[in-house]
Amino acid sequence: MIKDIMVHLDGSPEDEIRLEHGQALALAGRAYLIGLFTNQLPDLTIAMPMDGGAAAMQVLTELQDQALKDGDVTARRLSERLAGLQVPSELRRFDETSGALTGKVVEQARCADLFIATRPYGEAEALLWPDLAEAVLFGSGRALLLVPPGRHRQGPIQTVLVAWNGSREAARALREGLEFMEQAARTVVLVVDPPGDAEPAAELKAHLAHHNVVAEVVTAESEDRPIADVILEEAHRISADLVIMGAYGHTRLREQVFGGATRDMLTAAETPILVAQ
């Protein structure tokens, strides 16, 4: 069961949207809410020019001091906001450079049932912490609820769409999303390009029935379209409140990044997505 929910906070207007989703889920499950405030500091080792001298160092130090002062103001505001919620909560703050923040957040996320962040790609990608979302997904062992930018909470999750291809990643996402399906009024399982020699997702449907989830199975042919387009089309058709799917990635040097279909979903989806890896 989801008993502690961690919400990423950064002082931006998206904080309120993420908190709306976190509070609603915490109320429904009587869960504890943790606001994780990431206050990014300038990296003096990168910004300092080789021949900058004492004057340049002074400027960079002042920038860091200002970031800490701004963080104090934001932290007070966030603490007051959390205190006004109808669920037990706390604020945790980290003042670090970008790379250090990512590691701290991953460590924190490992001790929560669910991590809520903003969908990490789109027109304002630089502002949406894509590196943080990737690090938490691939490094924490926890599921992420990714909310489209600007999408306020629309009410209870009534209709859930599960993107199913029988993979390990899809199974992990299914397990993490069971509580959402158990509480929803309707669960639809989408199988894209199903094999023609068997009833699609029959075992999955039986498995969900053991959890008192009566799932509908629908199939779709991609016909050379991107898989994400097929999922998004079905989500729109059934007015899904949540999409559950496995997240697929590959390595890039020492990093792990989202694969094409996953990245497409996390760029264009207008519905919250629960992803696991």
Whole-angstrom distance, CA of residue 129 vs CA of residue 8: 10
In angstroms, what CA-CA distances link 272 with 101, 159, 204? Answer: 24, 12, 23
Per-residue pLDDT at 42: 87
Q: Do the strands 249-252 and 255-258 form a parallel or antiparallel pair, or are they unpaired?
A: antiparallel
Burial class (CB in 10 A: 0-12, 13-18, 19+), 85: middle
Q: Is residue 262 part of a domain?
A: yes
User: Which CATH number do you get for residue 26?
Assistant: 3.40.50.620
- pTM for the model stands at 0.92
If asked whether residues 20 and 131 sit together in one domain, one would say yes
Per-residue pLDDT at 192: 93
If asked whether residues 142 and 36 sit together in one domain, one would say yes
If asked whether residues 56 and 91 sit together in one domain, one would say yes
Q: Is residue 153 part of a domain?
A: no
Q: In the chain, which stretches have pLDDT less than 50?
A: 253
Alpha-carbon torsion (90, 95, 97, 99), positive or negative? negative
For the chain, the domain total comes to 2
If asked whether residues 133 and 188 sit together in one domain, one would say no
**Residue 198 domain boundaries:** 159-276
Q: Is residue 116 part of a domain?
A: yes
Per-residue pLDDT at 198: 75
For residue 54, the one-letter residue type is: A
Per-residue pLDDT at 181: 98
In the listed set 126, 147, 168, which residue is the last one of a domain according to the structure? Answer: 147
Per-residue pLDDT at 52: 57
